[in-house]
Amino acid sequence: MEWKTDWGLRGRMAFTMFLLFALYVVFVGVLTLYFQNFLFPMIMLGAFSIAQYFFSDKLALRSMGAKAVTPEEYPDLHRRMDRLSQQADIPKPTVAVADTQVPNAFATGRNKKNATVAVTTGLLRALDEDELDAVLAHELAHVKNRDVMVMTIASFLSTIAFFIVRWGWLLGGNNRQGAPVIVAIIASLVVWVISFLLIRALSRYREYAADRGAALITGRPGALASALMTIDGRMDRVPKEDLREEAEMNAFFIIPIKAGFVGKLASTHPPTESRIERLRDLEKEMATA
């Protein structure tokens, strides 16, 4: 199907990124005023972010205990990825599997040509054929939308702000004991908190975009809605130990692991109910088109 743009969703993402940009402009201005030797740590953190960007796929797979699999090992999974990648009009990503009860999937990689889509064995057992196609299409939509690159860029100065909150007193030079360094550290704390919330909001908007992309790739919004309900329902049955082990991967998963009130407040994903409602609306829209 034609890859259509949801301009309302695109507008909200653009506004969120504008707020981040404005926040970061003020932040850099404050740092320029108050830190004498800020350039060196910024270069160091920039190098770290670039390395993280280029090796994000390997880091994510290692964190999950996932490994790339061959067509001989998982023939059905590879056939699905071949077909769905063609429908999404992107190169076929590397296919990986993690042996865990947590029913989930994630995409990683810096661009379309260097992407990996990973699924868990728990997911393969939990979903029917249409639901599995829908989840894989959701991850392919993340790849098509370059979400790893977008979130890495959006998080760069937020990471610097967090670094200064922890280590800013080392960057003050001759003013180490003075008020300027304290002001810069306080400004960094404010920037980090605000950017944290804005980045989480941006992540939630991009999940909606990936849901829409999956529906357009497969032509079956209802299948993704059904998959989300299945995964969300099975999350509660997974042993607590497994949930704690996988919690650090929340930003990658198709559905995040719930972590109480604070976890929901700063969630990288929208509520499952809201995602399903949007998919149902899209299903009606496609049926009448």
pTM (2 d.p.):
0.82
Mean pLDDT within 218-239: 83
pLDDT tens, position by position, 48-102 = 777 777 777 788 888 888 999 999 999 999 999 999 999 999 999 999 999 998 8
pLDDT tens, position by position, 156-204 = 778 888 887 877 666 555 454 456 677 778 888 899 999 988 998 899 9
* CA distance to 19, 139, 150, per residue, from 15 (Å): 6, 24, 14
The yes-or-no answer on residue 72 being catalytic is: no
Contact assessment for residue 214 and residue 69, using Cβ atoms and an 8 Å cutoff: no
Q: How far does Cα 159 stand from its chain's mean position?
A: 16
User: Could you state, in order of their start, the residue ranges of all structural domains in the chain?
Assistant: 7-288
**Choosing from 139, 207, 246, 283, which is the catalytic residue?**
139
pLDDT tens, position by position, 45-62 = 677 777 777 777 788 888
Nearest to 268 by CA among 259, 277, 278: 259
In whole angstroms, what is the distance from residue 212 CA to residue 190 CA? 34
